[in-house]
Amino acid sequence: MIKRWIVLAGEEGGPACNKMGGIWNVIDAESKMLAELVSRGEIDCDLRILVAGPYFQTHGADWNGARSRVTRVDEKDGFEPLNMGSEISATIDLLKKEGIEVVAAQKEHKGVPIGYLLFNTNYYDTIIARRYGQDMNLTNAIKKEAWDLVRLDSMHFERAPYGPEYTHYTNLSYAISQFVRNLVTLGEMKAEKYKDGAISEFAMSVMPKMQVSLHCHEFGVFYALARLKSLGLPVRTMATLHATIPGRSSGYRSLEKIARNDSVWEPNVPTGMATLESLAKYADVTTFVGDSTKKEAMLFYGLDGIVVRNGIDVTDNGIDWVKKNRCRKKIQKFLSDKLHNQFGGERIDPENILPIFTISRIEIENKGYPQLLDSLLLQDHLIKHRKLEQRFAGEIRVVCLLMAAHGPKSKDKLPEGFPVDLPLEVLVGEEIRLSNMIQDRALDAEKLVSGKRQAAALLYPQWVGPDDGGFNMSAEDIMSGCVAGIFPSQYEPFLLTGLEAGREGTPSIVSRACGFSDALRKVERLVTGLGGVVVVDNIASTHQEMTLDYALAMDYFTWTYLDDQVKYRLLCEESFSLAKLMDWTKPVLEYYRNLVVETKLEKSVPEENKSESADFFDEGEPR
């Protein structure tokens, strides 16, 4: 009998509270889509799905102090104790004997259980292990073995500023790989306890054979698959790169480096992290979320593989127009009230405020903020010139929400008029620079009230949410209420936010540099002309050309919204259809086909044993 397991591993693997970025969405979506495919009978109905990640017990346990994650697997969130067979229980018991604690739980999706294995790596310094003929703590033992197996120079990397993060990744990778190792070899260990050789051989022949596949998302857990391969264990492994460390360090210059075939790492590359990322070479299959990431991996590491795009969950059958109208009116009224309260003057009619948005990490050059702000200047002039033909154009105010922050801010420390009232003491780091860039171009919101500008940028330096001290709306509701989204990234491996905007039926403008734009070439347009998603060439174009193209695209969406509601609705429908078309079914099936293949182990199992269901893992002591 063959028992198949797929383990999805990542630093963001686990419940939603482990989320630090978009990769959590990917791991969560992959696990749920696998469960859905099992429930529909499209893949092996006996497949067991596990998600492995870190466990942060208390505040301060997270290596990322700004995020300070606390992992919760509560009943109220639908979690229950893990109950996926005696093999799992036996494997966890083996880890506990080594001093490795596992927080285990499960949650059903479409009637299929998804298991969660969460590892607290913070105390490994206190576990004494007997290795290499001497006593040492578990962390040092892990690093010593990593040097012996794959030549990871942990003594050098742990002294770097990112040392605690690096150590967390090696410890987490060890725990995940040790779990997989124990699960794969469990039958052999159990059979070896029988003193009679014939009984032991018979036990092995009828015990379930474990076929385990390990899918590692991002470099933090790549040592797990490298360790398993170096130990010679029969585990099918996959490494997925959502970006590359040297590529992120080069940022918008990475495209130039690819064009010049310049494989030299920038001085600011964290070598230890990049070395962990290079361990993807041990994987049976390497995948990339976009063509640009694949090119980076080939340039910097000599890695090749396949492109498997990201996707998105779209559960609605159509656009919720009632929601869109409600959210838009809420944003318009909020902006009208806050502008009037802060700057006085004549109140701007909420209906004349056209909100557009961008949301990203606060990486100013990589995310294209200079180009976006320059295009808003051009947009301002385009609106003013429209007054020559359409008199009511003089009443229009375009407000571009720049949702970018270093981290969450306590709403108690925000002024009542936030974000229109945005004192300097609220801002930190690059938020200050971005605010100064807005001021330098005279694009601040006060100019809307005075009439000097008809297009402005409004910095929203907060992690958005229903209780964020500003709009008090979820990111999805803000996307739904805006007329358009704009994502002018100079460096972007994929751009999930473009699909998220489409899920809300909001048209968007994206740069050619992002991986998302590649998929658009294969989609048939519903609307003649520009369509519901506009791609601006920011690779071959000059700065002047691309900023003009961004401005014209913003003008296209905002003016279509004002002048032709029928066409605007078609643009919204196209953006929604694209998101629905790019769901997770195809990517996850691609992952599955590469992870679950018939092995020599399966071919060697006699037919009569494939139907056996004898379970030797609940036995007492061997006779």
Neighbours of 422 (CB within 10 A): 22
Do 454 and 594 belong to one domain? no
Cα–Cα distance list, 344 to 347, 349, 352, 423 (Å)? 8, 14, 17, 17
pLDDT for the residue numbered 611: 42
Do 400 and 480 belong to one domain? yes
Do 510 and 368 belong to one domain? yes
Is the separation of the CB atoms in 449 and 343 below 8 Å?
yes
Residues 467 and 463: their CA atoms lie apart, in Å, by 10
Give a yes or no: residue 19 inside a domain.
yes
Do 397 and 345 belong to one domain? yes
- Collapsed DSSP state (helix, strand, coil) of residue 294: helix
Residues 249 and 264: their CA atoms lie apart, in Å, by 12
Is the separation of the CB atoms in 222 and 276 below 8 Å?
yes
The gap from C-alpha 331 to its chain's centroid, in whole angstroms, comes to 27
Is the separation of the CB atoms in 286 and 568 below 8 Å?
no
Residues 103 and 99: their CA atoms lie apart, in Å, by 13
- Collapsed DSSP state (helix, strand, coil) of residue 535: strand
Do 211 and 351 belong to one domain? no
pLDDT for the residue numbered 581: 86
Is the separation of the CB atoms in 122 and 165 below 8 Å?
no
CATH number at residue 238: 3.40.50
Do 94 and 227 belong to one domain? yes
Beta strands in 176-264 (DSSP E): 209-217, 236-241
Is the separation of the CB atoms in 145 and 127 below 8 Å?
no
DSSP 143-200: HHHHHHHH---HHHHTTSTTHHHHHHHHHHHHHHHHHHHHHHHHHHHHHTT-SSHHHH
Do 439 and 575 belong to one domain? yes
CATH number at residue 344: 3.40.50.2000
Beta strands in 424-522 (DSSP E): 455-459, 484-487, 508-511
Residues 610 and 371: their CA atoms lie apart, in Å, by 61
pLDDT for the residue numbered 211: 92
With 0-12 / 13-18 / 19 or more C-beta atoms within 10 angstroms meaning exposed / middle / buried, residue 455 is buried
DSSP category for residue 523: S
* Listed residue (279, 275, 217, 270) closest to 243, CA to CA: 217
Give a yes or no: residue 260 inside a domain.
no
Do 225 and 343 belong to one domain? no
Do 336 and 359 belong to one domain? yes
pLDDT for the residue numbered 613: 41
Do 556 and 435 belong to one domain? yes
Counting Cα atoms < 13 Å in the Cβ hemisphere of 378 gives: 20
Is the separation of the CB atoms in 421 and 460 below 8 Å?
no
How many structural domains are present in the chain? 2
pLDDT for the residue numbered 205: 52
Amino acid at 138: L
DSSP category for residue 265: P
Give a yes or no: residue 298 inside a domain.
no
Q: Splitting the chain (623 residues) into consecutive groups of 10 residues, what average pLDDT does each group show?
A: 91 90 91 96 93 94 85 91 93 94 96 97 92 92 97 96 96 98 81 53 57 96 98 97 93 87 95 98 96 93 94 90 97 97 93 96 92 96 82 87 92 94 94 97 95 96 94 96 95 84 95 76 52 88 94 95 94 92 92 80 46 42 36
Residues 434 and 49: their CA atoms lie apart, in Å, by 43
> Sign (positive/negative) of CA torsion 499, 505, 510, 512?
positive
Which range of residues forms the domain containing residue 181? 2-121+163-242+285-290+305-312+583-601
pLDDT for the residue numbered 128: 92
Give a yes or no: residue 449 inside a domain.
yes
Give a yes or no: residue 55 inside a domain.
yes
With 0-12 / 13-18 / 19 or more C-beta atoms within 10 angstroms meaning exposed / middle / buried, residue 136 is middle
Give a yes or no: residue 279 inside a domain.
no
Do 570 and 595 belong to one domain? no
Give a yes or no: residue 609 inside a domain.
no
With 0-12 / 13-18 / 19 or more C-beta atoms within 10 angstroms meaning exposed / middle / buried, residue 81 is exposed
Do 591 and 563 belong to one domain? no
Residues 290 and 296: their CA atoms lie apart, in Å, by 10
Residues 340 and 420: their CA atoms lie apart, in Å, by 10
Is the separation of the CB atoms in 337 and 409 below 8 Å?
no
